[in-house]
Structure 1
Amino acid sequence: MGHSSRGWGAALLGLLAVVQIVSISAQTLSTGSLSVSWDVVKSSIKEYTVVVRLRNNQLINPVPAPGWALSWTWQQNEMVETVDGAQVLNLADCSGTSAADDFPDKVWYAVTCAARPIFVSTYNQGYLPAASVDNVNNTAQFTIVLGKGSDYWGVGNLTLPSDFDIGLPGYQCTLPAPVAAGRSVPVSIGGRQYYTAIRSYDFTCFLSPQFVAKPTCCVSFSGFFNNTVATCPACACGCNATLGSNATLGSNATACASRQSGPNAATQLLFGPAVPTTSSQQISSKQTLDTAPRPCSSGCMTDIHFAVSQEFGGGWQVQVAIANTRATPIADWLLAMDLPLANYLEAVYTVQHDAARQLPNFAIFSGQPYYNDVIPSAPGNVQWIMNFNKTAVAPATGPKIKIIDQNAFPTAVYFMGQQCALPPFDAIPSNMLGQTSGAASGRRISAALVIAALVALSTVLL
């Protein structure tokens, strides 16, 4: 019994380790951080100049319009004399403050004397692309010239503001940490001139684990080799009618908790009645699916359908649709997929595609600027087609694909950086005799497998 139990124990520990690795990987992808630097580059008795830089280091999280809104609380009765590269939302008259006595010649054209100013971008509506897509334009910078209250005059009297906030839903910021003086600070993004900082601080802002853990999107799968639609679980994003037009479950919320949701809005786009699309290429399919509404909904604000629509001699084709069920548009949308066969992707039509350099097997999709980079409010949507080549990968680096099956579907999907709810593993369409079975692929570990291992281990140990 000792050898047997040790064997089962080792197997179970290995299995749980894999499950933990998958979970940590998803958490890492969905978080990352926005880094903020505060550099004092000039200082006199009464005034000082600060360069503020924001950088989006998140791999798959863009900062969409209207973007960041950085705020803080002054500690030295500061007056903002000028600002370059940003604008202040809360303008405040300085004539009735102590600044009128301290700076009588400047108070009339000062920007603001607000105790807690809010700065927003003047470029690209505050949009910062994800680092895996654009590692150059994911930075914003602005410069402010400040006058200090007379009680704090002195060249070296520089007190950092408090209570920094990035102004983005779900984000929390760390306390600023001092950095050794003397670092080089560019005068402008991409410029060749640099300041030498007198005093520097850094802090980061990141999505809270509670915000990341809650899905906001529902993914469904279908394949030409199977006439079923695999949907995400009912109430995957919650059974709250305030989440969007797809979340009106009412008294059915309790009954739906352990069931699958019906075909979502994105599925209906591809296989149901024609719906206006933001793409000039309306997708159609010869496949006939059971898309009859079911009583349960996912409760998600965004629906995504991934359809393996056809197979041909040299490859296969996939259709993707994103449907917005909320009352507001989605600007600068970004979809990231963990595709086991991403290396075989040959062509993508009507949207932009990027291979995430830091993320093997990941494919990143976004809209074409000024064409379909904004998904309108419900029933707004965007659709596209992509072709895969079975021999796109050289024999030395990958095998030739023979059968298109569950390996063609993504193992993880992220929309706007947040993980989407996927269909259960055993519901994914299979090409094995037209059945839906998890036996054809070992890509994803199901909860049932973990439970079975626990039961087996307990039996052996007893």
Structure 2
Amino acid sequence: MGSFRSPSSRIIAALLISCSSFLISEAYDALDPNGNITIRWDIMTWTPDGYVAQVTIFNFQQYRHIESPGWSLGWTWAKKEVIWSMMGGQATEQGDCSRFKGNIPHCCKRDPTVVDLLPGTPYNQQISNCCKGGVISSLAQDPVNAASAFQLSVGSAGTNNKTVRLPKNFTLKAPGPGYTCSPARNVRPTKFVTQDKRRTTQALMTWNITCTYSQFLARKTPSCCVSLSSFYNDTIVSCPTCSCGCQSGSCVKADSPHIASVVSGSSSNNPLVQCTSHMCPIRVHWHVKLNYKEYWRVKITITNFNYNMNYTQWNLVVQHPNFDNLTEIFSFNLKPLTPYASINDTAMLWGVKFYNDLLMQAGPLGNVQSEILFRKDPSTFTLEKGWAFPRRIYFNGDNCVMPPPDAYPWLPNGGFGPGVSRLTILACLLLPLVILYRPM
């Protein structure tokens, strides 16, 4: 009796295992296996009741950036610490400072939340790498701007290496959820080289916190989808229905006569998506455009269906085996990504600065497009079995929903259509004979 399991219980167990595997794998990105955000907390000097620290947020993710309205960093103090003052950032709440008289701290909360200052902040409140409104570029796209920093003076804390305590429960929103942060840990103190490179100094103590991203934690539904077409087939394979959710009263019809008033009256922080069958804010279309003797050409179009969002510094990651033979790309930047040294099948694409690096909100200007010219490798190139279409596509670091492989456009002389096997065709041919000769 104890070892018996009903078929239904075995199915439920299998589903639980598959779901848990999905959750674990979602936090690991095979195209960016070492990508993370590292927060470095450097204690620079001791003060009579605490210390002055510089906190730096490094984005080591190849293509996932932090967009407007920017990051917010939170933690819980180990003791009864307060923040006396800050430069390059500010706490969102002061908290209860009633126990202090005279000089009032900048923040007395046990669990403060800190945000970046805005561009244009007075120079005497800035430090290096601050004041960008919390926006941090991805490492591959703009390594110079892939970090953000602030400085804080901490009081009611330890005043030496033995009495100071590490903050706990770090949280990073960038700008929404999705990141899970490790506990702070002691590491070797950071060394700093002076501007003239003639002297090296070092922090008194350094703590590191590592934050990793999970698309599953970031949002309940995907944020983008992929559609496909080709010169050799009139069929356009649309994004799968309900890729990012199904239609409800929250979407806006593109031909609505009141669209302007609806858009102007909505909150800019919430998505306002055009009514479509897929309901995705972003659609990426891959079109196999031309087939030459030695080359073949693809057109990529990214369309924004969100009336409340301009995507600044957008990027696209595409996995396709022919990137090893890329010849030319028009009107986009491109950088090969090689997470595994022996395989060159992934590339990151983004807009040209001051030209198409801003993907405008939904409407006539809400799209960007480019074309890619590939050289054919005779040993691998084929237009059969969907080889010319991408294996996966990311937009701004999120995995987009692909159409099912059996729906891809197929060659006119490719025999049978998608989803129809030869066994099915044979069964259909034999069916009249079975009916004709069945026993009465």
How many matched pairs?
357
1:89-115 Cα offsets, whole Å, 9 max, x none, are: 536499x644445xx4xx5xx655555
SS in 1 for 2:52: strand
Which residue in the other structure is 2:47 paired with? 44
Native 8 Å contact 1:349 1:386 kept in 2: yes
Of 30, 35, 38, which aligns to 2:38? Answer: 35
For 1:145 and 1:199, the matched residues in 2 are separated by 15
Query: Map of 1:391-410 to 2, 5 A cutoff?
Result: 391=376, 399=379, 401=381, 406-410=386-390
Which residue in the other structure is 2:335 paired with? 354
Which residue in the other structure is 2:181 paired with? 174
2:305 maps to a residue whose letter is T
Structure 1 position 141 matched with structure 2 position 115 = no
Task: Note the C-alpha offset of 1:80.
Answer: 3.0
SS in 1 for 2:329: strand
Task: Note the C-alpha offset of 1:73.
Answer: 3.7
Which residue in the other structure is 1:129 paired with? 137
State the TM-score, normalizing by the size of structure 1: 0.66
Which residue in the other structure is 1:71 paired with? 74
1:68-96 Cα offsets, whole Å, 9 max, x none, are: 1112344434133242xx321536499x6
Structure 1 position 300 matched with structure 2 position 280 = yes
In 2 relative to 1, CA 318–123 (structure 1 residues): closer, same or farther, beyond 3 Å? farther
Which residue in the other structure is 2:240 paired with? 233
1:319 maps to a residue whose letter is K
Task: Note the C-alpha offset of 1:337.
Answer: 0.9
Of 221, 227, 230, which aligns to 1:214? Answer: 221
SS in 1 for 2:41: strand
Task: Note the C-alpha offset of 1:400.
Answer: 7.3
In 2 relative to 1, CA 189–242 (structure 1 residues): closer, same or farther, beyond 3 Å? farther
Native 8 Å contact 2:49 2:159 kept in 1: yes
Query: Map of 1:52-131 to 2, 5 A cutoff?
Result: 52-74=55-77, 75-83=79-87, 86-88=88-90, 90=92, 92=94, 97-101=98-102, 104=103, 107=104, 111-113=106-108, 115=110, 116-120=112-116, 122-131=130-139
Which residue in the other structure is 1:415 paired with? 395
For 1:358 and 1:188, the matched residues in 2 are separated by 34
SS in 1 for 2:316: strand
For 1:208 and 1:305, the matched residues in 2 are separated by 22
Task: Note the C-alpha offset of 1:240.
Answer: 4.5
Which residue in the other structure is 1:371 paired with? 355
2:68 maps to a residue whose letter is A
For 1:296 and 1:324, the matched residues in 2 are separated by 12
Which residue in the other structure is 2:289 paired with? 309
For 2:70 and 2:58, the matched residues in 1 are separated by 12
Native 8 Å contact 1:170 1:208 kept in 2: no
1:78 maps to a residue whose letter is V
1:163-197 Cα offsets, whole Å, 9 max, x none, are: 322122232433423224x4224479998854233
SS in 1 for 2:387: helix
SS in 2 for 1:28: coil
Native 8 Å contact 1:244 1:327 kept in 2: no
For 1:370 and 1:41, the matched residues in 2 are separated by 39
1:416 maps to a residue whose letter is N
Query: Map of 1:240-389 to 2, 5 A cutoff?
Result: 240-241=247-248, 244-245=251-252, 297-328=277-308, 329-358=310-339, 360-379=344-363, 380-389=365-374
Task: Note the C-alpha offset of 1:303.
Answer: 1.3
For 2:253 and 2:225, the matched residues in 1 are separated by 11
For 2:214 and 2:317, the matched residues in 1 are separated by 17
For 1:125 and 1:370, the matched residues in 2 are separated by 20
Which residue in the other structure is 2:168 paired with? 162
For 1:388 and 1:304, the matched residues in 2 are separated by 18
SS in 2 for 1:220: strand
State the TM-score, normalizing by the size of structure 2: 0.69
Unaligned runs of 5+ in 1: 1-19, 249-294, 440-462
For 1:401 and 1:54, the matched residues in 2 are separated by 43
1:377-433 Cα offsets, whole Å, 9 max, x none, are: 212423323232425x6xxxx747465873221011111111111111111112352
1:429 maps to a residue whose letter is P
Which residue in the other structure is 2:8 paired with? none
1:209-251 Cα offsets, whole Å, 9 max, x none, are: 3447832212110000110011222111111437754799xxx
Task: Note the C-alpha offset of 1:145.
Answer: 2.5
Native 8 Å contact 2:327 2:375 kept in 1: no
In 2 relative to 1, CA 420–68 (structure 1 residues): closer, same or farther, beyond 3 Å? same
Native 8 Å contact 1:226 1:434 kept in 2: no
For 2:250 and 2:392, the matched residues in 1 are separated by 22
For 1:190 and 1:390, the matched residues in 2 are separated by 47
In 2 relative to 1, CA 133–405 (structure 1 residues): closer, same or farther, beyond 3 Å? farther
For 1:400 and 1:124, the matched residues in 2 are separated by 46
Task: Note the C-alpha offset of 1:376.
Answer: 1.8
CA RMSD of aligned residues (A): 3.9
Unaligned runs of 5+ in 2: 1-20, 118-129, 256-274, 420-440
SS in 2 for 1:165: strand
Native 8 Å contact 2:301 2:370 kept in 1: no
In 2 relative to 1, CA 384–153 (structure 1 residues): closer, same or farther, beyond 3 Å? closer
Higher RCO (CA 8 Å, separation ≥ 6 residues): 1
1:289-316 Cα offsets, whole Å, 9 max, x none, are: xxxxxx9701211111111122234322
Native 8 Å contact 1:428 1:436 kept in 2: no
Native 8 Å contact 2:247 2:279 kept in 1: yes
**Percent identity for Structure 1 against Structure 2:** 21
In 2 relative to 1, CA 297–30 (structure 1 residues): closer, same or farther, beyond 3 Å? farther
Task: Note the C-alpha offset of 1:434.
Answer: 6.5
Native 8 Å contact 1:426 1:436 kept in 2: no
Structure 1 position 204 matched with structure 2 position 211 = yes
For 2:374 and 2:323, the matched residues in 1 are separated by 10
2:368 maps to a residue whose letter is Q
